[in-house]
Structure 1
Amino acid sequence: MSDLPVPYITGHFTPVTDEITAHELTVHGTLPQELNGRYFRNGHNPKPGITPTHWFRGAGMIHGVRLTQGRAEWYRNRWVRTPFLDGVPFTGTELEVSAAATNIIFHGGRYLALQEANLPWEVSAELDTIGVYDFGGKLTSAMTAHPKEDPVTGELHFFSYSPFPPYLTYYVAAASGEIIRTEIIDGSGPSLMHDFAITEQHVVFLNSPVVFDHAEHSGIPYRWHDDVPFRIGVMPRTGPAKVTWFEVEQAALLHVTNSYVDPQGRVVLEGPRYDRASWENSWKWWVGAPGYGTSPDAGSTFHRWVLDPATGKATDEPLDDLATEFPSINDAHTGLVNRYSYAVAFPGAGLSGYATIKFDTATGRQQLLRHGEDRMPGEAVFVPAAGAVNEDDGYLLTIVSDLKADASQLLVLDASDIRRDPVAVVELPRRVPAGIHGHWIPDTEEF
């Protein structure tokens, strides 16, 4: 790492140093009238003068854009004001000492900033910090940064993982926000479990070879172990809390694209797959390090696993060879069959720069929107169009940052064909650093 000694605070990841608010942003094109709400995106942004020890140790900062009636009403960015921001270290037990830097969701009337080793932190609709949130005392362990909301029931499914027993605890919160189910899950191990999945009938857990290790000194105590298999666990959603574990070819999965049950009753899981080389070199292709990205193991690639509960058999297959991450779908298909997914494509495998990609798993075709030199997109968030009929009738929202121009834009893309010129481009008042995850929260959910 000599050419990029601290890659996660340089280049596209260079932190901003203050909080600002700007009103009535410039819009090119026409913002669709149905885009009434807030686009919030979280990410790591340490205070000036602080160099974190790892990618995931920077303090959380949320960037927000308010869209309403064809206008971009405001942009604002705010740190999540947790004890961690003020220098209180997280040593593994203080659940309230959170970077709160990975994701932001809206559920049960609350905006929650998430970091998987800690409790959520609640913020307001204007991104002011309200305080730590434990679901009325019912959440006594950490909460994943990747909960799944059932698009039919509105229930929020999530989990807590730990390097110490109990390794895995599963939770369900009602649409109103109250936790209605808590289960300790047997058979898991001390694996780094960043994400998981649901189907209509199942919960799908991931035990990868990246496991807790005291000897790891990179900043978080997890390391790849060649002697640990990759296991995918399938559990009935309605109980009992008994998991069937499928051992598959060794790999790791950081983010899930989606999971569903196919017509044969098999559980299908899709997402970007890492082997050891791509896992250990992920910082290089994330930041587009010069000369990296020319070999097949240059990054995580889109993959599918098919698990048959009736026979206990598992198969898997690659779906694409581009280095991709930050997958997303139309959230109305969470846990249901989906045809389309979206992701960030990284330099390598024929790409000279960053791109947004759309996968069609029915045909194997892909659409690429190349963003150009020194321009890096973020995770693409799907928003349905008014009167949508097809799965991809809608828009993709993504913040694209331009390193050379020291500026950023919020792009509104036509999800049915992302190669077209953007539907609208919102000029943001500053460069927004490369971040992690976010969501679109429409006004119909807020009020």
Structure 2
Amino acid sequence: MNTAKPPYLTGHFTPIAEEVTATGLTVEGTLPPELTGRLLRNSHNPKPGITPTHWFKGSGMVHGIRLRDGRAEWYRNRWVHTPALDGAPYMTENGPDLTASAAGTHIIEHAGRLLALCEANLPFELDSELGTVGAYDFDGKLRTAMTAHPKEDPVTGELHFFASSPFPPYLTYHVADATGTLVHTAEVPGATASLKHDFALTRRHVVFIEGNVTFDPAEHSGIPYGWSDEQPSRIGVMPRGTDGHHHVRWYSIEPGNMLHVSNAYEDGQGRIVLEGPTVDREGFRLSWNWWTGAPGRGSEPVSRSYTRRWTIDVSAGTVDERIIDDLPVEFPTLNEDYLGTENRYQYAVAFPDENGLGGYGLVKYDRTTGARRIHQVGDARLPGEAVYVPAAGAANEDDGYLLTVVSDLKQDASQLLVLDATGLDRIATVHLPHRVTAGLHGSWIPDTPPHAS
């Protein structure tokens, strides 16, 4: 009998067994005073004694670090107390229970609400100290699940999001206004059961990505999806606006699968440029087997994940597609002020390749020159997604800071690193009270919104 733990419960991903609150954290270096707010980050962290059948089924635990006026005031971690945390099933005799959520993929703030997200469920609201308030359905208006990757328009403050389902309707698009009121819902025609984890927003369009990973009832990990050569790989382009779903157009692309979008925008010729890490069939197989603990897996949670660029000529109906970098990366981020418009800089986490060669690091891409810079974090140290925070009085796109939580296996510890986003030099290190489980996505929640007067 094989009693070995699956990879998502070992090493950097070993779950934390308790909730902790610590104050007066030790800081090395100098924290910039404009970093006044909270860094919140989500992770899959099953309770002791629980072995989920898939990495993504582990219960969500949110980690928070409070910075103010050059001090690190507190750290706390809290499970998101959903029905699933206590064992409630997602599927019931009455269909899916949208409140039985892992709530472990992302955490955002919109219209003053903190929402922990998992794409198969309703969001869960948390209070300012990470206590669970409960499932949130936009005052009864949201009757579908909600993607873990909504997009907040940096100009209007609207929150754009979608629900993807293995059954019709396969794709439903939603918009909440800047006050948090759900103002638009529409089914998107032509979609399939393909897994849609993320999407893109430009100034004029909503962009959906359908890859070769689709609903598979024979998959028994608890996440019923798998690679299919028969599933067409496509990009759907929909004009923004309340009647945009009447004009969606789908474009065929090469086989592959994308989890996370780097950005998308209209260029000077009106073409849509979309970028993000993608995997081929072998990359998906290695990654999925890691996520489920199956034989034949790679040594990392993502394998063969290379940044790809699509340039969509809407007028001609054509797509130019190319891999633009051969470094395995995931968790792309950018200065969110540039979301939906042409950005020069992007950031990502670098992973070893499928043979275990190369190390972990944070990558900065200069899309104008094609250059990349890597901040190496050190042996047996894994950085998390880098959250960009603009500096006070920033004049350039990369005038700011990158915040990342690092898991250090040798020291059995974690730190918050604050890097200069321009040169990736370390500015400050905040020592956390214990090693933090390597996680997924998070947000910087400033005390004063960046565009407030």
TM-score, length basis structure 2: 0.94
Pair 334,4 (structure 1): closer, same or farther in 2 beyond 3 Å: farther
Structure 1 match to 2:46: 46
CA shift, 1:282, in A, is 1.6
8 A contact 1:285–1:298 mirrored in 2: no
8 Å CA contact retained: 1:285, 1:346: no
**Cα drift, residue 283 of structure 1:** 5.7
Q: In 2, Cα distance between the equivalents of 1:292 and 1:62?
A: 27
Partner in structure 2 of residue 266 of structure 1:
271
What is the distance in 2 between the residues matched to 1:104 and 1:318? 30
**Partner Cα distance (2:60, 2:447) in 1:** 24
Do the aligned residues in 1 keep the contact of 2:406 with 2:416 (CA within 8 Å)? yes
What are the residue-to-residue correspondences of 1:35-184 with 2, within 5 Å?
35-91=35-91, 93-184=96-187
The Cα offsets for residues 60-100 of structure 1, whole Å up to 9 and x where unpaired, read as: 00000000010000000000001000111212610011111
1:387 aligns with 2:393: yes
**Cα-to-partner distance string for 1:185-207 (whole Å, 9 max, x where unaligned):** 10000111100000000000111
Distance 1:4 1:334 in 2: 43
Q: Shift of residue 292 of structure 1?
A: 5.5
Q: Which amino acid aligns with 2:415?
A: Q
After superposition, what is the alpha-carbon deviation per residue over 1:98-124, rounded to whole angstroms, capped at 9, x for unaligned?
111000000011000000000000001
Contact 1:272 1:301 in 2 (8 A): yes
1:284 CA drift (Å): 7.4
Q: Which amino acid letter does the alignment assign opposite residue 99 of structure 1?
A: A
Preserved CA contact (<8 Å) 2:288 2:297: no
- 8 A contact 2:287–2:297 mirrored in 1: no
Indicate the residue corresponding to 1:9 in structure 2: 9
Residue 276 of structure 1 and its aligned partner are, at CA, apart by: 0.6
Match of 1:426 among 402, 414, 430: 430
SS of the residue corresponding to residue 449 of structure 2 reads helix
Q: Which moved more, 1:83-92 or 1:198-207?
A: 83-92
1:287-338 deviation per Cα after TM superposition (whole angstroms, max 9, x unaligned): 9x999689xx942101100111101000111111011000000000110100
Paired position in structure 2 for 1:406: 412
Partner of 1:362: 368
C-alpha distance in structure 1 between counterparts of 2:299 and 2:365, whole Å? 20
C-alpha distance 264-400 of structure 1, shift in aligned 2 (>3 A): same
The structure 1 residue matched to 2:332, chosen from 327, 333, 358, is 327
Match of 1:197?
A: 200
Alignment match, 1:436:
440
* Structure 2 equivalent of residue 26 of structure 1: 26
Q: Once the two structures are superposed, what CA deviation does each residue of 1:2-24 show, in whole Å capped at 9, x if it has no partner?
A: 89750111111000000000001
The DSSP-based 3-state class of the residue aligned with 1:12 is helix
Structure 1 contact 382–397 (Cα < 8 Å) conserved: yes
User: How far is the alpha carbon of 1:404 from its aligned partner?
Assistant: 1.4
Q: Which consecutive unaligned segments of at least 5 residues does structure 1 have?
A: none
Alpha-carbon separation, structure 2, partners of 1:290 and 1:352: 20
How far does the alpha carbon of each residue in 1:11-57 deviate from its partner, in whole angstroms, 9 at most, with x for none?
11000000000001000000001000000000100000000010110
- Equivalent of residue 229 in structure 1, options 219, 228, 232: 232
Q: Of residues 308, 311, 326 in structure 2, which corresponds to 1:306?
A: 311
- The one-letter amino acid of 1:222's match is Y
Contact 2:279 2:303 in 1 (8 A): no
Cα contact 2:43–2:104 (8 A) shared by 1: yes
Task: Give the direction of change, closer, same or farther, for the CA distance of 1:152–1:404 in structure 2 (3 Å limit).
Answer: same
Output the CA distance in 2 between the equivalents of 1:395 and 1:206: 30
- Aligned residue among 419, 422, 428 for 1:416: 422
Question: Cα deviation per residue 1:185-235 (whole Å; 9 max; x = unaligned)?
Answer: 100001111000000000001111101011112331001001212100000
What's the secondary structure of 1:85's corresponding residue? helix
State the alpha-carbon separation in 1 of the partners of residues 5 and 50 from structure 2.
Answer: 15
Instruction: Report the secondary structure of 2:96's partner residue.
Output: coil
Q: Give the Å deviation of 1:240.
A: 2.9
Q: Measure the CA separation in 1 of the matches of 2:297 and 2:315.
A: 46
CA displacement at 1:445 relative to structure 2? 3.4
**Which letter maps to 1:250?**
P
1:443 partner amino acid? D
* Distance in 2 (alpha carbons) for counterparts of 1:49 and 1:187: 43
Contact 2:310–2:321 (Cα < 8 Å) also in 1: yes
Structure 1: which 4+ aligned runs deviate by more than 6 Å? 284-287
Provide the rounded CA distance (Å) in 2 between the counterparts of 1:330 and 1:147. 16
**Alignment partner, residue 255 of structure 1:** 260
Deviation at 1:363, TM superposition (A): 1.0
Amino acid at match of 2:188: I
- 2:448 is paired with a residue whose SS is helix
**Residues 7 and 290, structure 2, Cα contact 8 Å, conserved in 1:** no
Question: Which residue identity lines up with residue 401 of structure 1 in the other structure?
Answer: S
Paired with 1:171 and 1:81, the residues of 2 have a C-alpha distance of: 26
With structure 1 as the length reference, what TM-score do the two structures score? 0.95
Letter in 1 for 2:52: P
Pick aligned residue for 2:250 from 222, 245, 251:
245
Equivalence for 1:374: 380
Residue 352 of structure 1: how far off its partner (Å): 3.0
Q: Structure 2: which 5+ residue stretches go unaligned?
A: none
RMSD over equivalenced CA pairs, Å: 2.1
Q: How far, CA to CA, are the matches of 1:139 and 1:360 in structure 2?
A: 39
Q: How many residues align?
A: 441
Q: Is the 8 A contact 2:194 2:231 kept in 1?
A: no
Q: 1:74 to 1:58 in 2, by over 3 A?
A: same
Distance 1:189 1:126 in 2: 40
**Offset of residue 247 of structure 1:** 0.2
